[in-house]
């Protein structure tokens, strides 16, 4: 990005001498440059990814995505890899060893310019790794603070490679910070023209829904969350700088700032601060944004009006307007009043109005109406003067959570009414009475002439959709009333306002993975609590206890708990992850069977975890809150092995701890095991 450094025409008078300013370079200078970032995780994702995109631009690969490995619990490293032009040793030296030097200031085709972004990682950690792939040679470097707190670039080695040209930047993320980098990536990446390949199945970009869009802009409806997007990086627009009066004399363009407008702009159109976290709100920036807002404001109202005019009917237009009126309310005042009207003209009609309430429905006495206000939960029902409709309309009102306005006519004509109000069949706004769902007949109603009824209407748990959608007040949609034979065996839970004691829902989610078919479960409320006294009614927790006693692998679970305790004990002294990587990747064995490392190997889970056994442990925990009655004693064999390592093999754990992720190769681990074999020969065989 080009940086403007205009020459000033200065006229001096009465000046005897001038002293040119300079910068005192020292450790504190570099620390201040690192501390300029208010949100280091977001700045790191943004800066390193931008440099990767610039490299792709130079290589003519703008449509090729960069690759990003986000940190996880098992691999707490962030890696960003590009497939651009690569970097020669001379280029690495120029870019990383010199602050505020950049070769991107001659063109607006690239994002960088300040010569600071490549070192942004030092705002978060003291060291990071650089791996370059250039013309068949891989070179490895580290960049970090030296003993005098001044950053240093160190080359570790170079090796032949078949990898494509490019650069990979990586570093270890601090414990508990992995989610911060995932959240930052979800906010940065959605604005990239080519989305990166992210090696994380659970990662999702925070892509905003576009309500209205045009060439180089779109509206999301998010209040006061507006951005300009330059070179794939989003910069928030601070509305206060425009001196906006929120009540009077607001142009449509300025109104757009309050409803989430995102504007794509060419690189160099506005100025940004050196950290590139914010816009620099100078005259150039403000004037450019204002000009774009005015231009877009002239277009957006016409675009919304065009969408409303394109609707097939008057009712569909009202429905479309109401969907936009909430998020785009601040510009609705500029829309043609005829297009934003939600008045349905009926002529002169007596309306019977029915509204859904928490328990049932409410009827309003018939009134004379010339017009009504349309809303998405309103329906008109046409009935004949002689038809009975009260019970049917009330039932549909409760079932569908809709308001029904009933119109009685001697000769109801649906097509004529739809034509009068501007509706179509597709709108579903006008209905005949026979189009409503019939009220179900209750078995055994009326005078009893046959055998006594053995069924009761009881709530039954009916799983629907994904379990993550089941929470709080929405539990009601998971229970349906059914006729249940109370003389057969039934499983039940006690329920109050759809709340069930304990972790009933979590238990049901676990059962299929354990090979147990979830039973039909009844929810007994205060209205049918007496059924719990029946011998054929079994409480769910008793049924579950029987299943656990019959099918749970108690011995395997006890062994798993013991192994976890042993593994935790080992991890207190030597990292389990480091040992696991060594045993998994090394290609040579530890020769002495009595080696303390061979002892630990027996207790370190190297293979894949048994998911079924894990789910059994989780089921026992949430159903019975069971814990071992007495602590399981620590394995003496493991304790002796750790003591031996601590006293005679000290260098091995320390070396494993300091091992960089780039050195976690079979050759490195083989060297460690060869060292262990030498120690074993000295301490165990002599």
Coil/strand/helix, residue 86? coil
Sign of the dihedral defined by the CA atoms of residues 197, 198, 204, 207, in that order: negative
Residue 170 has pLDDT above 60, yes or no: yes
Q: CA–CA separation, 32 vs 388, rounded Å? A: 81
> Could you say which of 140, 173, 198 is where a domain stops?
198
Which token pair is 391? 């019970």
CA-closest candidate to residue 44, choices 22, 62, 70, 21: 70
Give the distance from CA 566 to its chain's centroid.
Answer: 36
Half-sphere exposure of 94 (CA within 13 A, CB side): 9
- Distance between alpha carbon 11 and the CA centroid of its chain, in Å? 58
How many whole angstroms separate alpha carbon 532 and alpha carbon 112?
72
The answer on 623 and 476 residing in a single domain is no
Give the pLDDT mean for 216-228: 84
The answer on 167 and 59 residing in a single domain is yes
pLDDT of amino acid 69 = 94
Tally the residues of the chain: 686
* Model pLDDT, residue 446: 52
Mean pLDDT of 170-189: 93
Is the same domain home to 141 and 276?
A: no
The verdict on 522 and 508 lying in the same domain is yes
Structure tokens at 129: 């790794």
Kindly report the three-state secondary structure assignment for every residue of 360-392. EEEEEEEEEEEEEECCCCEEEEEEECCCCCHHH
134-143, 304-313, 595-604, 619-628: which is most confident: 134-143
Alpha carbon distance 124, 39 (integer Å): 9
**pLDDT band at 443; cut points 50, 70, 90:** low
Nearest to 429 by CA among 467, 378, 469, 465: 378
Same domain, 539 and 570: no
Lowest mean pLDDT among 73-87, 565-579, 667-681: 565-579
CATH (domain of 157):
3.30.565.10
For the segment 50-88, what is each residue's pLDDT rounded down to a tens digit?
A: 999 999 999 999 999 999 999 988 899 999 999 999 999
**Between 471 and 218, residue with greater pLDDT:** 218
Statement to judge: residues 85 and 168 lie in one domain: yes
Map residue 430 onto helix, strand or coil: strand
Q: CA-CA-CA-CA torsion for 570, 576, 581, 582, nearest 10 degrees?
A: -20
597 and 625 inside one domain:
yes
> Does residue 596 carry a pLDDT above 60?
yes
- 268 within a domain of the structure (yes/no): yes
Distance CA 612, CA 605 (A): 16
Write out the two tokens for 390. 């009260």
Longest dimension (CA), the chain: 121
Is 142 a domain residue?
yes
632 against 192, higher pLDDT: 192
Q: Which of 539-548, 553-562, 565-574, 623-632 has the lowest mean pLDDT?
A: 623-632
Please say whether the beta carbons of 238 and 197 come within 8 A: no
Percent of the chain with pLDDT over 70: 86
CA distance 557 to 539: 26
Instruction: Report which listed range, 191-200, 358-367, 601-610, 671-680, is most confident.
Output: 191-200
Residues 582, 676 within the same domain: yes
Integer Cα distance of 3 and 280 in angstroms:
13
Question: Is residue 300, in this structure, part of any structural domain at all?
Answer: yes
Angle between helix 666-683 and 576-585 (nearest 10): 100
Mean pLDDT of 101-123: 81
Task: For residue 317, tell me if it sits in a domain.
Answer: no
Q: What does 182-249 look like in DSSP terms, one character per residue?
A: HHHHHHHGGG-SS--EES-TT----PPP-SEEETTEEE---TT--EEEETTEEEE--GGGGT--SSSS
**What was the pLDDT predicted at 156?**
92
Residues 617 and 562 in one domain: yes
Q: Which is more confident, 651 or 403? A: 403
Backbone angles phi, psi at 483, to 5 degrees: -80, 120
684 or 521, greater pLDDT? 521
CB 173 within 8 A of CB 80: no
Q: What is the pLDDT of residue 220?
A: 85
Share of the chain above pLDDT 90, in %: 23
Answer yes or no: are the C-beta atoms of 307 and 319 closer than 8 Å.
no
Contact between 78 and 43 (Cβ < 8 Å): no
**CB-side neighbour CA atoms (13 Å) of 62:** 10
* 511 Cβ neighbours under 8 A, 6+ residues apart: 517, 518, 619
Give the DSSP letter of residue 441.
P
In a domain, 325, yes or no: no
**Tens digit of each residue's pLDDT (9 = 90 or more) over 389-422:** 888 988 898 888 899 999 888 888 999 999 999 9
Per residue in 336-367, pLDDT tens?
778 888 888 888 777 888 888 766 667 777 77
Question: From CA 501, how far away is CA 496, in angstroms rounded?
Answer: 9
Which among 515, 532, 551 is the end of a domain? 551
416 is written with which tokens?
Answer: 């004529």
pLDDT for 180 equals 94
Taking the alpha carbons at both ends of the chain, their separation in whole angstroms is: 68
- Top mean pLDDT of 266-280, 338-352, 618-632 is at 266-280
Same-domain check for residues 558 and 542: no
pLDDT score for 159: 94
Residue 352: give the domain boundaries.
342-435
Give the integer Cα–Cα distance in Å for 600 and 21: 63
Q: 176-183: long-range contacts (C-beta < 8 A, 24 or more apart)?
A: 177/41, 177/71, 178/70, 178/71, 178/72, 178/73, 178/76, 180/41, 181/41, 181/44, 181/45, 181/70, 181/71, 181/78, 182/70, 182/71, 183/41
Tens of pLDDT, residue by residue over 495-517, are 877 777 677 878 888 888 888 88
Say if residues 321 and 340 touch (Cβ distance below 8 Å): yes
Tokens of 46: 């943004």
In DSSP terms, which residues pair with 405 in a beta bridge?
353, 380
Whether residue 504 contacts residue 619, with contact meaning beta carbons closer than 8 Å, is answered with no
* Same domain for 219 and 185: no
CA distance 512 to 418: 51
Domain membership flag for residue 330: no
CA gap 281, 562 in Å, rounded: 62
Residue 630 lies inside a defined structural domain of this protein = yes
Mean pLDDT of the chain: 82
Counted domains in the chain: 5
Secondary element (H or E) of residue 170: strand 166-172
Say if residue 38's pLDDT is above 80.
Answer: yes
Distance between CA 111 and CA 117 in Å, rounded? Answer: 10
DSSP string spanning 558-587?
HHHHHHHHHHHHHHTTS-HHHHHHHHHH-S
Tell me the HSE value of 553 on the side-chain side, using a 13 A CA sphere.
15
CA distances from 668 to 129, 160, 206 (A): 18, 17, 40
Pairwise CA distance, residues 264 & 216, whole Å: 5
Whole-number Å distance between alpha carbons of 624 and 613: 16
pLDDT score of 526: 80
Question: Rounded to whole angstroms, what are the CA distances from 250 to 35, 242, 331?
Answer: 39, 11, 10
User: Two tokens at 227?
Assistant: 């951005």
Whole-angstrom distance, CA of residue 288 vs CA of residue 348: 55
State mean pLDDT over 6-32. 84
DSSP string, 474-534: GGGGGEEEEEEETTS-EEEEEEETTEESSSHHHHHHHGGGGT-PPPPEEEE-GGGGGGGGS
Boundary-marking domain end, from 512, 534, 551: 551
Q: Is residue 478 located within the same domain as residue 617?
A: no
Examine residue 471 and state whether it is found in any structural domain, yes or no.
yes
Mean pLDDT of the region 88-113: 82
Per-residue pLDDT of 454-490, as tens digits, reads 677 888 887 665 554 555 445 667 788 888 888 888 8
What 3-state class would DSSP assign to 160?
A: strand
Asked whether 540 and 502 are in contact (CB, 8 A), the reply is no
């Amino acid at each position: 990005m080009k940086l403007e450094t205009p020459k000033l025409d200065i006229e001096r008078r009465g000046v005897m001498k001038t002293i040119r300013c300079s910068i005192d370079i020292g450790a504190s200078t570099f620390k201040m440059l690192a501390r300029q970032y208010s949100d280091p995780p977001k700045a790191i994702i943004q800066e390193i990814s931008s440099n990767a995109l610039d490299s792709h631009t130079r290589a003519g690969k703008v449509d090729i995505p960069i690759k990003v490995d986000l940190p996880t619990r098992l691999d707490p490293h962030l890696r960003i890899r590009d497939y651009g032009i690569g970097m020669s040793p001379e280029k690495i030296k120029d870019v990383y060893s010199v602050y505020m030097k950049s070769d991107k200031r001659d063109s607006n085709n690239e994002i960088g310019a300040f010569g600071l972004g490549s070192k942004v990682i030092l705002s978060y950690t003291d060291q990071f790794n650089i791996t370059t792939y250039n013309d068949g040679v891989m070179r490895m470097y580290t960049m970090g603070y030296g003993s005098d707190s001044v950053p240093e670039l160190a080359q570790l080695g170079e090796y032949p490679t078949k990898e494509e040209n490019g650069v990979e930047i990586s570093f270890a993320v601090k414990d508990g910070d992995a989610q911060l980098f995932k959240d930052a990536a979800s906010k940065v990446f959605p604005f990239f023209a080519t989305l990166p390949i992210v090696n994380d199945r659970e990662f999702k970009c925070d892509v905003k829904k576009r309500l209205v869009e045009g060439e180089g802009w779109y509206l999301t409806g998010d209040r006061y969350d507006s951005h300009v997007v330059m070179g794939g990086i989003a910069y928030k627009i601070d509305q206060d700088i425009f001196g906006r009066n929120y009540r009077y004399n607001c142009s449509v363009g300025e109104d757009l700032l309050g409803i989430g407008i995102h504007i794509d702009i060419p690189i160099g159109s506005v100025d940004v601060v050196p950290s590139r976290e914010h816009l620099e709100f100078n005259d150039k920036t403000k004037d450019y944004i204002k000009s774009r807002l005015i231009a877009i404001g002239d277009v957006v109202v016409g675009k919304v009006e065009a969408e409303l005019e394109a609707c097939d009917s008057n009712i569909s237009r009202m429905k479309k307007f109401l969907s936009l009126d909430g998020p785009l309310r601040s510009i609705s005042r500029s829309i043609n009043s005829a297009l934003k009207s939600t008045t349905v003209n009926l002529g002169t009609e007596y309306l019977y109005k029915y509204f859904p309430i928490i328990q049932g429905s409410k009827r309003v006495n018939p009134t004379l109406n010339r017009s009504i206000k349309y809303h998405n939960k309103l329906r008109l029902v046409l009935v004949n003067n002689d038809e009975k409709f009260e019970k049917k309309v009330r039932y549909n009102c409760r079932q569908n959570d809709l308001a029904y306005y009933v119109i009685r006519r001697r000769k109801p004509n649906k097509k004529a009414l739809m034509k009068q109000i501007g509706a179509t069949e597709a709108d579903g706004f006008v209905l005949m009475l026979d189009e409503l769902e019939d009220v179900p007949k209750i078995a055994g109603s009326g005078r009893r002439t046959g055998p006594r009824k053995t069924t009761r209407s009881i709530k039954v748990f009916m799983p629907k959709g994904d379990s993550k959608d089941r929470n709080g007040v929405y539990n009601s949609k998971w229970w349906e009333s059914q006729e249940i034979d109370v003389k057969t065996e039934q499983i039940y839970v006690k329920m109050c306002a759809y709340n069930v004691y304990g972790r009933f829902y979590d238990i049901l989610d676990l059962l299929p993975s354990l090979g147990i078919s979830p039973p039909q479960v009844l929810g007994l409320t205060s209205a049918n609590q007496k059924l719990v006294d029946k011998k054929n009614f079994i409480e769910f927790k008793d049924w579950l206890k029987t299943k656990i006693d019959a099918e749970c692998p108690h011995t395997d679970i006890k062994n798993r708990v013991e192994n976890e305790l042993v593994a935790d004990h080992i991890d207190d002294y030597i990292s389990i992850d480091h040992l696991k990587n060594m045993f998994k990747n090394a290609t040579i064995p530890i020769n002495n069977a009595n080696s303390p490392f061979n002892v630990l190997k027996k207790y370190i889970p190297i293979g894949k975890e048994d998911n079924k056994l894990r789910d059994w442990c989780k089921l026992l925990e949430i159903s019975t809150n069971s814990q071992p009655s007495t602590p399981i004693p620590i394995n003496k064999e493991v304790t002796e092995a750790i003591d031996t390592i601590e006293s005679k093999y000290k260098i091995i754990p320390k070396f494993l701890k300091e091992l960089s992720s780039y050195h976690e190769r079979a050759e490195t681990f083989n060297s460690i095991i060869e060292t262990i074999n030498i120690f074993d020969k000295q301490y165990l065989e002599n």
